[in-house]
Amino acid sequence: MLVGISTFAFFLCVAKTVVGSPNFIIFFADDVGYGDFQSFGHPTQEKGPIDVMGDEGMRFTSWYSGDSICTPSRASLLTGRLPIRIGVVGPNRVFWQWDQGGLPKSEITIAEALQQQGYATGMVGKWHLGINEKVANDGGHLPMHHGFEYVGTNYPYGQNWKCDPKKFSTAEMSEKCFKYKNSTFVQQPTDMINSTFEMVEDAKDFIMRNKNQPFFLYMPFLQAHCTLFCSPGFCGSSRRGIYGDNINEMSWAVGEVLDTVKRHSIQENTLAIFISDNGPQLEMCVDGGSSGFLKDLVIGGKGSTWEGGIRMPAFAWWPGTIPAGEVNHEVVSTVDIYATLLELAGGNADEDDVTRDSKSISGVLRNESPSPHEFLFHYCSDRLMAVRYGEYKISYVTQMRTTDFTDFCYEGVPDDDRITNLRCYDDTVVSHDPPLIFNTDEDPAEEHPLNPARHGLMLSHVNEAVRRHKATIVPTRSVLGLKNAALQPCCNYPACVCNYEHPYESQQKSEL
């Protein structure tokens, strides 16, 4: 049982449909970095529909994730809270496939909040917020228990380097590579080749079924988390190699979904946002994405609170409402999606709830107002690492690598224990007193720390904000790391192998 979690206060007693409420689509990439798109400066990545979202809408240069790694960043998106507030913290930092924990059901997700506003809610793609709760295959933590009435093709654990038949046996792949349709097993181990196509077809189906009422579609992609894969129509499509193929395939999927919105003539009533969960897996080198001009390759990617780990490529699209071709420099966060969508849907939240970190950025999207944030707080697990304040980044704690660069640049199978600098408390973590100060507008690579003696008043202001912020944190039991081997997902027990026929397979082969 979780303690100390404030519940969300609704001012509506019954569900209602607000005439004119916009539709919402959230595209959520996996481990895609700030420099992975042509429109964010990559020199060889092909331009695709994701870039076109920026041409037709808005591109954000200072959008921050709720965390620097998969599970907590997803929890922050869906709940509008920092992960420390809901127990999504701990040495493991992510849910494993056999964990008995999951996203706390005491939390009202944005899907549940929008249901109260009369929205149809759907999800396809990667979940990574818990699977089974009490017995194997009960699916007690899957999306349908968190407000998603439609759940198409979904990957409760996402994908893993072991999901590669060229390198692993069926038995090895089965442990972490499996696919569901709603709460039902579809495949174990997973054949990734059809995954993007299946997700797109499910997304189209959901939009078609709900085009005449407000809907919320959450579409977290598998790309571009290792292991990398590509469907037949995208293999070899990029000058950049297999990683570029992945970006092209994901971008195609975004285009297909937005084209569906246009075909049903609902684009002027649809807000779509594309973001990534955290920074790129830099240890994989050319197979691990790019943080662009943010913190250098050695220490600045996924798992860290350097800019490359938490600053995301972001696009917002809403024809007729969001100005086309705008580049927005306001400091905003993934946690803001919660309050923004709820406000646009006509809902009301308890504005006095200091444990809800989300703030509406509806005015920012319209290019009408500045960011509602004076401060953004960046954590590694339950440890406050840094604060963003205006153009400044104040880092109290940073993560460093102690291994030679060449030792962690992988071309084969990575070592899970060395794959990233995910640690929050070991000897690779350095405290700074006084803290490091960077002007991240002028120095986004965080290469030139400022002299703290010249910024005493600013530091006092930030330190007081940190004190006030920490006073709102209520100790909460962790829901991570609760391993129970009996909860390992297994279809066709005890074989843990199934490969049910999927209706899209033959169709994809003929269309791609």
pLDDT in tens, 340-358: 999 999 997 666 677 889 9
Which of 70, 380, 490, 491 is an active site residue? Answer: 70
b/e sequence 20-33, b meaning 16+ C-beta within 10 Å: ebbbbbbbbbbbbb
Handedness of CA 327, 331, 337, 342 (dihedral sign): negative
User: Span 388-471: which CATH code?
Assistant: 3.30.1120.10
- Predicted local distance difference test score (pLDDT) of residue 401: 63
Instruction: Give the max Cα distance, the chain.
Output: 66
Look at residue 18 and tell me whether its pLDDT is greater than 70. Answer: no
Which of 128, 145, 373, 455 is an active site residue? Answer: 128
List, by residue range, all CATH 3.40.720.10 domains of the chain: 23-374+477-511
Per-residue pLDDT of 118-130, as tens digits, reads: 999 999 999 999 9
Per-residue pLDDT of 468-482, as tens digits, reads: 999 999 989 999 999
**With contact defined as beta carbons under 8 Å apart, do 264 and 246 qualify?**
no
**Active-site annotation holds for 285:** no
**For the whole model, what pTM was predicted?**
0.92
pLDDT band at 251 (very low <50, low <70, confident <90, very high): very high
End-to-end alpha carbon distance in the chain: 48
- Across 233-238, average pLDDT: 95
- Predicted local distance difference test score (pLDDT) of residue 501: 58
Q: Which helix (H) or strand (E) holds 337?
A: helix 336-344
- Across 28-56, average pLDDT: 97
Count CB atoms within 10 A of the CB of residue 182.
16
d(C-alpha 244, C-alpha 230), whole Å: 10
- Predicted local distance difference test score (pLDDT) of residue 427: 82
In 3-state terms, what secondary structure has residue 470? helix
Look at residue 20 and tell me whether its pLDDT is greater than 90. Answer: no
Q: Three-state SS string across 275-309, please?
A: EECCCCCHHHHHHCCCCCCCCCCCCCCCCCCCHHH
**Active-site annotation holds for 380:** no
Residue 342's contacts (CB-CB under 8 Å, 6 or more residues apart) are 110, 113, 114, 117, 348, 349, 360
User: Span 23-374+477-511: which CATH code?
Assistant: 3.40.720.10
List, by residue range, all CATH 3.30.1120.10 domains of the chain: 388-471
Determine which of 23-32, 368-377, 424-433 has the lowest per-residue pLDDT on average.
Answer: 424-433
- Across 408-428, average pLDDT: 65
- Predicted local distance difference test score (pLDDT) of residue 352: 63
Better-scored residue on pLDDT, 191 or 7: 191
Look at residue 508 and tell me whether its pLDDT is greater than 90. Answer: no
